[in-house]
Amino acid sequence: MAPGGSAFKEVLEFHSTVADCDVANSKSENNITPTKGTVVLGGKHGVYSNNGVHELLECPVCTNLMYPPIHQCPNGHTLCSNCKLRVHNCCPTCRYDLGNIRCLALEKVAESLELPCKFQSLGCLDIFPYYSKLKHEQHCRFRPYSCPYAGSECSVTGDIPALVSHLKDDHKVDMHDGCTFNHRYVKSNPHEVENATWMLTVFNCFGRQFCLHFEAFQLGMAPVYMAFLRFMGDDNEAKKFSYSLEVGGNGRKLVWQGIPRSIRDSHRKVRDSQDGLIIQRNLALYFSGGDRQELKLRVTGRVWKEE
């Protein structure tokens, strides 16, 4: 349960069917020091150089590769635009004022370079022109995933197996096997609906992992509940699956069918796009029956693989 949430009773029932100029130089993971070698590029072999020019493009403060505008002091020492602000316009090498001098020659030299993706160790074997490399890395399919846990702002990143272990060991998320689920959600005072999130479980299906979310929040002025599924993998893989959710009572029911969203999309982005089963509070209380003083919802669903 998210911090600040009310007390809830949750029953899970799963049925398996399958200052100054002195700035510390901290080594960044973005720093790349390629050596001469051969990598695969679009089915071909690409060769990148070890002539040392790339070392000139490393910012001496953050050690990241520099992109235009590249700044220099009157003595020719360079640094990136982000660090220029950090050092208060004072050269970290010679302590001269930096001014507003750009190193156009170095920016031009960078155009001739080709470098490997920084996620090479994770499986990306492509090389890119210097100024295309950064854009590629922002969308590289080998880039680490962010932790999909919705109950806190977790900064952990990693591949899928590492995140599954992290969710289980650090967030104590329940893990289940099977492609169908049956969840009963009970709230004693449903009239107190604050923004809160719950990730109910992670379950293994077809050898992949899916995150089932259930959230309570305000949609405009209306309090609502929402259930949706996220896929632990990229969007192109998520599109190979479909899922359905169903909730009801008193002879009525709501059914949702959709495609699970990749965890590349945050749970907040999925929620704000309303891409899931949304239940208005009044209807949820009608489904619950009784005197409408206690919420009792049973959410069932299944996942299947598209042919």
Indicate if the alpha-carbon torsion angle 100, 101, 104, 106 is positive or negative: negative
Question: What are the start-end ranges of the E strands in the chain?
Answer: 9-13, 37-41, 44-48, 71-72, 78-79, 101-102, 114-116, 127-129, 145-146, 157-158, 175-177, 180-187, 196-205, 208-219, 222-231, 241-249, 252-258, 261-262, 277-280, 295-305
User: Which of 97, 112, 127 is the endpoint of a domain?
Assistant: 112
User: Which of 126, 143, 160 is the endpoint of a domain?
Assistant: 143
Q: Residues 192, 298: one domain? A: yes
Range of the domain at 288: 147-305
Q: Residues 225, 252: one domain? A: yes
What CATH number does the domain containing 77 carry?
Answer: 3.30.40.10
- Residue 272: inside a domain, yes or no? yes
Q: Residues 248, 298: one domain? A: yes
Distance CA 133, CA 34 (A): 13
Q: SS3 of 21, please? A: coil
Structure tokens at 9: 């009773």
Q: Residues 239, 291: one domain? A: yes
Give tens-digit pLDDT for 115-134: 899 899 889 999 999 889 98
Position 49 pLDDT exceeds 90: no
Total number of domains constituting the chain: 3
Q: What pTM, to 2 d.p., does this model score?
A: 0.71
Q: Pick the range with the lowest mean pLDDT from 87-101, 154-168, 238-252, 284-298.
A: 284-298
pLDDT at 51: 52
- Residue 34: inside a domain, yes or no? no
Q: Residues 191, 300: one domain? A: yes
Read off the pLDDT band of 267 (50, 70, 90): confident
Q: Residues 202, 123: one domain? A: no
Read off the pLDDT band of 217 (50, 70, 90): confident
Position 32 pLDDT exceeds 80: no
Q: Residues 151, 277: one domain? A: yes
Position 45 pLDDT exceeds 70: no
Read off the pLDDT band of 140 (50, 70, 90): very high
Mean pLDDT over 57-84 rounds to 91
- Residue 26: inside a domain, yes or no? no
- Residue 230: inside a domain, yes or no? yes
Nearest to 270 by CA among 208, 200, 213: 213
Q: Residues 240, 283: one domain? A: yes
